[in-house]
Protein backbone atom coordinates (compact mmCIF):
# COMPACT_ATOMS: atom_id res chain seq x y z
CA UNK A 1 0.00 0.00 0.00
CA UNK A 2 1.49 3.39 -0.97
CA UNK A 3 0.54 6.50 0.97
CA UNK A 4 -2.16 8.80 -0.26
CA UNK A 5 -0.84 12.16 -1.51
CA UNK A 6 -1.51 15.30 0.53
CA UNK A 7 0.08 18.75 0.30
CA UNK A 8 2.81 19.09 2.92
CA UNK A 9 1.43 22.40 4.14
CA UNK A 10 -1.44 24.84 3.72
CA UNK A 11 -2.20 28.12 5.43
CA UNK A 12 -5.02 30.58 5.84
CA UNK A 13 -6.13 33.58 7.85
CA UNK A 14 -8.71 33.42 10.62
CA UNK A 15 -12.22 33.40 9.23
CA UNK A 16 -11.13 32.27 5.76
CA UNK A 17 -11.80 28.83 4.26
CA UNK A 18 -9.05 26.33 3.52
CA UNK A 19 -9.14 23.02 1.66
CA UNK A 20 -6.79 20.06 2.04
CA UNK A 21 -6.67 17.51 -0.76
CA UNK A 22 -5.96 13.79 -0.60
CA UNK A 23 -5.22 11.96 -3.84
CA UNK A 24 -4.93 8.26 -4.41
CA UNK A 25 -5.22 5.63 -7.07
CA UNK A 26 -8.42 3.84 -7.94
CA UNK A 27 -7.11 0.85 -6.00
CA UNK A 28 -6.60 3.03 -2.90
CA UNK A 29 -10.04 4.55 -2.97
CA UNK A 30 -11.74 1.74 -4.84
CA UNK A 31 -14.46 4.10 -5.98
CA UNK A 32 -15.72 3.85 -2.44
CA UNK A 33 -16.98 6.16 0.26
CA UNK A 34 -14.51 4.86 2.81
CA UNK A 35 -12.41 7.97 3.44
CA UNK A 36 -11.79 9.49 6.86
CA UNK A 37 -9.90 12.51 8.18
CA UNK A 38 -7.97 13.03 11.42
CA UNK A 39 -6.71 16.11 13.24
CA UNK A 40 -3.51 15.90 15.28
CA UNK A 41 -2.24 18.65 17.55
CA UNK A 42 1.45 18.55 18.55
CA UNK A 43 2.21 15.86 21.08
CA UNK A 44 -1.34 14.51 20.98
CA UNK A 45 -3.01 11.48 19.47
CA UNK A 46 -5.02 11.95 16.27
CA UNK A 47 -8.76 12.46 16.57
CA UNK A 48 -11.43 11.57 14.02
CA UNK A 49 -13.12 14.57 12.39
CA UNK A 50 -14.73 13.09 9.24
CA UNK A 51 -15.64 9.54 8.17
CA UNK A 52 -17.38 8.00 5.15
CA UNK A 53 -16.19 11.06 3.16
CA UNK A 54 -18.74 13.51 4.59
CA UNK A 55 -19.93 12.39 8.06
CA UNK A 56 -18.94 14.46 11.11
CA UNK A 57 -18.84 12.60 14.43
CA UNK A 58 -20.76 14.11 17.30
CA UNK A 59 -18.86 17.04 18.79
CA UNK A 60 -16.94 18.01 15.66
CA UNK A 61 -17.70 21.63 14.65
CA UNK A 62 -19.73 22.02 11.47
CA UNK A 63 -17.04 24.22 9.92
CA UNK A 64 -15.33 20.92 9.04
CA UNK A 65 -16.68 19.23 5.91
CA UNK A 66 -15.56 16.52 3.53
CA UNK A 67 -16.08 15.72 -0.13
CA UNK A 68 -14.71 13.47 -2.86
CA UNK A 69 -14.44 13.69 -6.62
CA UNK A 70 -12.89 10.82 -8.55
CA UNK A 71 -9.66 9.81 -6.84
CA UNK A 72 -9.35 13.00 -4.77
CA UNK A 73 -10.94 13.52 -1.39
CA UNK A 74 -10.98 16.94 0.23
CA UNK A 75 -11.34 18.38 3.71
CA UNK A 76 -12.63 21.94 3.91
CA UNK A 77 -12.49 24.08 6.99
CA UNK A 78 -14.73 27.10 6.63
CA UNK A 79 -14.09 30.01 8.93
CA UNK A 80 -10.61 29.09 10.18
CA UNK A 81 -9.96 29.44 13.89
CA UNK A 82 -6.64 29.55 15.72
CA UNK A 83 -7.28 26.16 17.32
CA UNK A 84 -7.55 24.56 13.88
CA UNK A 85 -3.76 24.85 13.51
CA UNK A 86 -2.69 21.20 13.47
CA UNK A 87 -1.66 18.32 11.24
CA UNK A 88 -4.37 16.64 9.18
CA UNK A 89 -4.34 13.11 7.79
CA UNK A 90 -6.65 11.37 5.35
CA UNK A 91 -7.17 7.62 5.42
CA UNK A 92 -8.81 5.24 2.96
CA UNK A 93 -9.89 1.62 2.90
CA UNK A 94 -7.53 -0.21 0.55
CA UNK A 95 -9.05 -3.69 0.29
CA UNK A 96 -8.71 -6.93 2.25
CA UNK A 97 -9.36 -5.16 5.57
CA UNK A 98 -6.34 -2.89 5.05
CA UNK A 99 -6.18 0.91 5.17
CA UNK A 100 -3.68 3.51 3.99
CA UNK A 101 -2.96 6.97 5.37
CA UNK A 102 -2.00 10.13 3.56
CA UNK A 103 1.38 11.71 4.28
CA UNK A 104 -0.21 14.49 6.33
CA UNK A 105 -0.72 18.22 5.89
CA UNK A 106 0.44 20.92 8.31
CA UNK A 107 -2.19 23.68 8.58
CA UNK A 108 -0.93 27.07 9.70
CA UNK A 109 -3.36 29.77 10.78
CA UNK A 110 -1.75 33.09 9.88
Partner 1 sequence: QLQMQESGPGLVKPSEILSLTCTVSGGSITSGPYFWDWIRQPPGKGLEWIGGMHYSGATSYNTSLESRVTISVDTSKNQLSLKLRSVTAADTAVYYCARRCCYFDSGSRPNWFDPWGQGTLVTVSS
Segment near partner 1 (CB under 8 A), from 15-23, 47-55, 67-75, 77-85? 47-55
Q: Whose Cβ is closer to partner 1: residue 51's or residue 64's?
A: 51
Phi-psi region of 27 (alpha: psi -120 to 50; beta: other; left: phi over 0): alpha
Segment near partner 1 (CB under 8 A), from 10-18, 19-27, 33-41, 69-77? 33-41
N residues, the chain: 110
Does position 88 interact with partner 1 (CB under 8 A)? The reply is no
- In angstroms, rounded to a whole number, what is the distance separating the alpha carbons of residues 60 and 88? 14
Q: Whose Cβ is closer to partner 1: residue 64's or residue 89's?
A: 89
- In angstroms, rounded to a whole number, what is the distance separating the alpha carbons of residues 52 and 101? 14
Could you tell me if 85 and 27 are in contact, meaning their C-beta atoms sit under 8 angstroms apart? Answer: no
User: Can you give the binding site for partner 1, defined by CB under 8 A?
Assistant: 1, 3, 32, 34-36, 38, 44-48, 51-52, 57, 89, 91-93, 96-104
Amino acid sequence: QSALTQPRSVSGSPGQPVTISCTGTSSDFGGSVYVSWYQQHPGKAPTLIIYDITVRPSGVPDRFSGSKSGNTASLTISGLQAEDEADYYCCSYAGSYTVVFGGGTRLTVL
